[in-house]
Amino acid sequence: MKDAMAGFELYQPTDLDTALESAARFGEAGWLLAGGYDSLDWFKDRVKIPEAVIDLSHIGELHGIREVDGAVEIGAMTTLTEVSRSPLVRGRFQLLADAASEVASPQIRNAGTLGGNLCQDTRCWYYRYGVDCYRAGGNTCYAAAPDAQNREHAIFGASRCVAVSPSDTAPALVALDASMVVRSVSGERVVPADNFFMEPGVDIERMTVLEAGEILTSVRIPPTWADAAFYFEKVSDRNSWDFALASIAAAFRTDGVTIDDARVVCGAVQCIPRRLRSVERYVSGRPRTPEGVDAAGAMAVKGAEPLSYNGYKIPLVTNLVKRALRSL
């Protein structure tokens, strides 16, 4: 039955209130559809069989990039191509534009959305193909076995599940101190990007803090890091299409000699974007020296616990941190 989707009711609201009412009515039996690339894979493989699909693409207020009280607000249904090409984003937060431009292929970026990229589920082979692993409600992690296919999996923060967040834009938004605007029929809440992604030790069956009936409506980026020195790099097997093996998103405030403040976040090494707070503290207030760069790189991988086939991520993360600092 592969590639044959089960039937579902399709709803295409044209305003947010109607979408929120539908999301509340169906709860966990409903599925929010953004660009659809991740969703359709789940449906075709019959791993996810929702009762109703709520298509958000026709809701105007979820689209667009605007400046609000000094912050840049991006609608969750804004495409990744629009984010990567926006003069407002590129002019103030080049880090996010760079990250968005590295997602998958041009064709996918033309339809894939910022909200969808942030909320997509993990790409673990075992979980995606419907085995009864911890994340799917079972009682084992197949990827953690000695002979498992775990080359793409976590080297930090594993708690039963060793899958990683696949989002390329998430590390950039954490580095920029962004906030996620979440709506439900009960009202609105604003969640810091650093707290938006769910650690498996808290709830192993969710990738984000979104509850049933809630919709991510927009992302707000404060002016804190506007026009800072930025560095983004994604390492993958192929330059297009592939998910990251590891990535880094960094923002620096510097006077040219001393780093005054820093945000350094790695992707694809943990279930959530991994903020390297020890590195941030170490480099802040120090002049950039070759010895300091090497020390920061070593500090970045302290506590890593590689699996059978992903030990290469340790030198990879070390060098990504060093390259980010050398970029200054």
| 3 pLDDT above the threshold of 70 | no
Q: For the segment 238-289, what is each residue's pLDDT rounded down to a tens digit? A: 877 799 999 999 999 999 889 999 999 999 999 999 999 999 999 999 998 9
DSSP 59: -
90-99 average pLDDT score: 98
Between 154 and 5, residue with greater pLDDT: 154
Rg (CA), the chain: 20
Q: For the segment 39-86, what is each residue's pLDDT rounded down to a tens digit? A: 988 888 888 899 999 999 999 999 999 999 989 999 999 999 999 999
Mean pLDDT of the chain: 96
End-to-end alpha carbon distance in the chain: 53
Residue 187, strand partner residues = 184
Any idea of the CA torsion for 270, 240, 90, 172, to the nearest 10 degrees?
0
Q: For the segment 287-309, what is each residue's pLDDT rounded down to a tens digit? A: 989 999 999 999 999 999 999 99
Query: What domains lie within the chain, and their CATH numbers?
Result: 1-61 (3.30.43.10), 62-119+173-224 (3.30.465.10), 228-326 (3.30.390.50)
Q: Where are the alpha helices (DSSP H) in the chain?
A: 16-26, 37-44, 80-85, 87-92, 94-101, 106-111, 114-119, 125-128, 169-175, 193-196, 277-283, 290-300, 313-326
| 138 pLDDT above the threshold of 80 | yes
Q: Quote the pTM value.
A: 0.96
